[in-house]
Structure 1
Amino acid sequence: MKKIINIEEFNELIRSRRSIYPAQYSGEKVNDLIIEQMLENANWAPNHKHTEPWRFIVFTDKGLDQLGKFQSDIYQQVSKAKGSFDQAKMETLRNKPLMASHVIAIGMKRDEKQSIPVEEEISAVASAVQNMQLTASAYGVGCYWGSGGITYMKEAKNALGLEEDDKLMGFLYVGMPKEGFWPEGKRNPMNDKVNWVTG
């Protein structure tokens, strides 16, 4: 028989999840065991035909500096070729990872043998990331899923081991929030977004 969890605590966990940005992190290191638990829970996301399309690369410690250099180098290469280089943006990409405890690159790996619509694989990865965010919230750890910067640059995807039909879906920044910081959230009423058909 399935164990019944405390439903009130479960509802509170979902409703209290927030995007907490790197500038709001305290600088305290998040225990690697929490990151491992986040990843383990990500692995239990729903996915069609058990393709498990999520792929993650975890950057921490000196790896954060490597990620910053990687991001700024890719951005510089691509933007200069397009004539859209911005020095301030490059410096942000170089330094932003250093504000986090961990940064997790989020990839979607296609399984062409299963011929599953790509939208379903993207949804599976998003579900895996939601599992990570909820796990982080349960531990009082902040997360922010960013999809700007180099996310949609082919050169970044290839450098992270993703192939032509795969997708880089952004980076999950993880850090301990500053003391006492956890923002309130708001949503419009659910009834505004639902129609019931009863017969």
Structure 2
Amino acid sequence: MVFELIKKRRSVFPAQYTKQPIHKSEIEKILESANWAPTHKKTEPWRFKVFLQNSKEELGQFLAKKYKETETNPKAFKVKKLLSNPGRSAAVIAICMQRDPKESLPEWEEIAATSMAVQNMWLCCTEMGIGCYWSSPGLIKYMGEFIELADGEQCLGFLYMGRYEEEISVVERKPIQDKVVWFN
């Protein structure tokens, strides 16, 4: 049931990933799930750049280098994390949003549609037993220096993906009643 799948969805971090690969056909299925997200005026703003094998390490090197260049006091643990997270992952997907050239709707709606596409991917990963984590470091604003982005396209973050073996605990949520106001 979809409700149970939604409740089971969790962030699974690169440090928790095993070395097991994710097959290209599985990544294609996950990406196809994104393509069915709601999209106002059918702009379908989601775009993805998939990093596998050597390109993951190149991504990590770029992020670590850019962090050291742009921070006045770079932290060694953060450099190490930026370098290692892509390599620990079976795949890293850059989550991008392509702005409608006509700007026929507000930018936030296209960001929301892209976010819903990522939620579809996350739920698909959960169903397939693949862990993932959406990271949005400030460094994403420099991604145009590393990969080609079309005019009006921007990177919103990275979806790190990998297989995992450990049990992921269920998180408690505050009651929905505390977050809803009813009007009659």
Q: Compute the TM-score of the two structures, normalised by the length of structure 1.
A: 0.85
The size of the alignment, in residue pairs, is 184
Partner of residue 125 from structure 1, selected from 92, 111, 114: 114
- Cα deviation, 1:119-148, whole Å, max 9, x if unaligned, reads 101000000000000000001110100112
Asked if structure 1 preserves the Cα contact closer than 8 Å seen for 2:92 and 2:160, the reply is yes
For residue 173 of structure 2, what is the amino acid of its counterpart? R
Unaligned runs of 5+ in 1: 1-8
Is residue 2:182 matched to residue 1:182? no
Is residue 2:117 matched to residue 1:90? no
Q: Compute the TM-score of the two structures, normalised by the length of structure 2.
A: 0.91
Larger Rg belongs to: 1
Deviating 4+ runs (over 4 angstroms): none
RMSD: 1.7
For residue 29 of structure 2, what is the amino acid of its counterpart? Q
The sequence identity of aligned pairs, in percent, is 41
Is residue 2:45 matched to residue 1:53? yes
Classify the secondary structure of the residue corresponding to 1:150: helix
- Cα deviation, 1:93-131, whole Å, max 9, x if unaligned, reads 112111111110011111131431011010000000000
For residue 55 of structure 1, what is the amino acid of its counterpart? R
* Distance in 2 separating the partners of 1:45 and 1:24: 28
Asked if structure 1 preserves the Cα contact closer than 8 Å seen for 2:100 and 2:152, the reply is no
Residue of structure 2 equivalent to 1:197: 183
For residue 189 of structure 1, what is the amino acid of its counterpart? P
Unaligned runs of 5+ in 2: none
Deviation at 1:158, TM superposition (A): 4.5
- Cα deviation, 1:131-179, whole Å, max 9, x if unaligned, reads 000000001110100112512x3x323433235743311100000112x
Partner of residue 25 from structure 2, selected from 14, 33, 50: 33
